[in-house]
């Protein structure tokens, strides 16, 4: 290097290098700060969930790599030329039922903090609850009474390659936590069942809100559990079920079944026979699916065009027809039917 700059002193080269670097860094920051890129901001803004009159409609979190990233979007499902709307509520994960929404949001700072926010039809936050980890799953019971939040509790996750989760139930009318699933009394085949490494994730509520299903992980085993909110208890139903999602008619559960160290295949479970069948989607799905009706589901998949970063929402029916993309650059689908 020195020989290359035989006639130039290293000091002058260094001053030049610093000038270029400072100009590049400073220029880029000024560019990002001043002329805020308008990409994505030309979408109409929805300030009310009723702005989209058609039903069913889909609520989602935008995964576009533009200024809408992370903000909720709204789109009618069956319109001929669907208009996509954006909102001014930012959520990593969202769910909505009976006029009440649950939004898991990150606020980026020196310390990134996470909150669960209860919002209404107008996308205004009514209650806010701090979370102790990275948001993973959100569910609201069909009547809007309870919410369930799963977060990854990082910190002890990387030394042994496993992870730890925490699932909290929320009273949606007050925004207060009412229970942590770790406090529930669990039984397996009638016997009390307890271990220090219990992890709960992926709650789905039954029609009366009091009944719910979820995943209990301990050691290398994942159980499907059926729980009772009022009774603060749960029992195991069978093994090998993660992130269950109960169909609107309550007859089936679609879940992800582990088929490799970090790959899952969607399966459907018949609630009477407790027997499962693989679905037509052959790609690995790491999501808690959303039912669009009693025969079809929607779920997020890594975006194909950007090579696995970002997300698109896909849909398929239980009839083993090929999955198709429902909305590109979107994440965390929620069906709205009222």
Partner 1 sequence: MYTIDWVRIFTRPSATSRRRISRVVWCLGITSFFTDVSSEMVSSILPIYLVSYLHLSPVAFGAIDGLYQGFAAIARLAGGFLADRWRNHKAVAAFGYALSALCRVGLLAGHAWSLVAATIAIDRTGKGIRTAPRDALISLSTDRRDLASAFGLHRSLDAAGAMLGPLVAFVLLSLTHGSFDAIFVVSFCAAVIGVGVIVLFVDGSSKALDASGRASFGATFGLLRIPVFRNLCVAGSALSLATISDSFIFLTLQRNVDFGVQYFPLLYVGVAACNSMFSVPIGHLADRHGRWRTFLAGHVMLLLVYGVMTGAHGNLALLVVLLLSGLYYAATDGVLAASASAELPQHLTGSGLALIATLTNTGRLLGSILFGAVWQWLGLKPAVTLFATGLIASLALAGMLRPSRVK
Q: Which of 78, 84, 120, 81 is nearest to 103 (CA)?
A: 120
Cβ 102 vs Cβ 138: under 8 Å: yes
Tell me how far CA of residue 241 lies from CA of 65, 131, 138, in angstroms.
33, 25, 18
User: Smaller CB distance to partner 1: residue 247 or 332?
Assistant: 332
Residue 334 C-beta: closest distance to partner 1, Å: 16
Q: Which is nearer to partner 1, 14 or 320 (CB)?
A: 14
Min CB(214)–partner 1 separation in Å: 17
Q: What residues form DSSP beta bridges with 226? A: 213, 235
Is residue 184 within 8 Å of residue 130, measured between CB atoms? Answer: no
Q: Which residues contact 25 (CB under 8 A, 6 or more apart)?
A: none
CB of 122 to partner 1, least distance (A): 24
Residue 35 or 53 having the CB closest to partner 1: 35
Q: Would you list the DSSP string of 21-42?
A: HHHHHHHHHHHHHSS---TTTT
Minimum distance of partner 1 from residue 275's CB (angstroms): 27
Instruction: Report the residue number, 166 or 252, with the smaller CB distance to partner 1.
Output: 166
CB of 13 to partner 1, least distance (A): 6
Instruction: Count CA within 13 A, CB hemisphere, residue 108.
Output: 4
Binding site for partner 1 (CB under 8 A): 1-2, 10-11, 13-14, 17-18, 21-22, 24-25, 28-29, 32-33, 36, 63, 65, 67, 69-70, 92, 106, 108-114, 130-134, 152-163, 196-197, 261-262, 286, 300, 302-303, 306-311, 331
CB nearer to partner 1: give 63 or 181.
63
């Amino acid at each position: 290097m020195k020989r290359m700059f035989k006639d130039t002193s290293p000091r002058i080269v260094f001053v030049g290098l610093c000038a270029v670097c400072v100009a590049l860094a400073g220029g880029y920051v000024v560019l990002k700060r001043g002329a805020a890129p308008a990409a994505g901001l030309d979408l109409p803004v929805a300030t009310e969930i009723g702005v989209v009159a058609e039903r069913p409609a889909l609520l989602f979190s935008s995964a576009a790599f533009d200024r809408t990233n992370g903000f909720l979007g709204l789109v009618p499902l069956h319109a001929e030329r669907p208009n996509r709307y954006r909102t001014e509520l930012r959520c990593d994960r969202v769910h909505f039922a009976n006029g009440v929404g649950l939004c898991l949001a990150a606020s980026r700072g020196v310390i990134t903090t996470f909150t669960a926010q209860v919002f209404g039809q107008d996308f205004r936050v009514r209650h806010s609850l701090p979370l102790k980890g990275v948001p993973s799953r959100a569910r609201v019971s069909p009547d809007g009474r309870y919410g369930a939040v799963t977060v990854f509790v990082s910190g002890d996750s990387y030394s042994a390659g496993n992870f730890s989760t925490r699932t909290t139930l929320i009273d949606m009318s007050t925004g207060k936590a009412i229970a942590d699933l770790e406090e529930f009394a669990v039984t397996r085949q009638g016997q009390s069942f307890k271990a220090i490494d219990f992890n709960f994730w992926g709650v789905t509520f039954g029609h009366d809100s009091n009944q719910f299903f979820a995943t209990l992980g301990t050691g290398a085993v994942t159980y499907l559990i059926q729980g009772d909110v009022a009774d603060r208890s749960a029992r195991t139903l069978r093994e090998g079920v993660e992130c269950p999602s109960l169909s609107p008619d309550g007859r089936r559960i679609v879940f992800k079944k582990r088929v490799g160290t970090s790959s899952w295949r969607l399966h459907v479970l018949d609630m009477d026979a407790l027997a499962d069948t693989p679905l037509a989607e052959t790609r690995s799905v790491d999501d808690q699916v959303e039912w669009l009706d009693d025969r079809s589901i929607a779920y997020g998949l890594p975006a194909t065009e950007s090579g696995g970063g970002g997300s698109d929402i896909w849909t398929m029916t239980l009839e083993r027809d090929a999955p198709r993309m429902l909305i590109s650059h979107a994440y965390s689908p929620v069906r709205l039917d009222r």
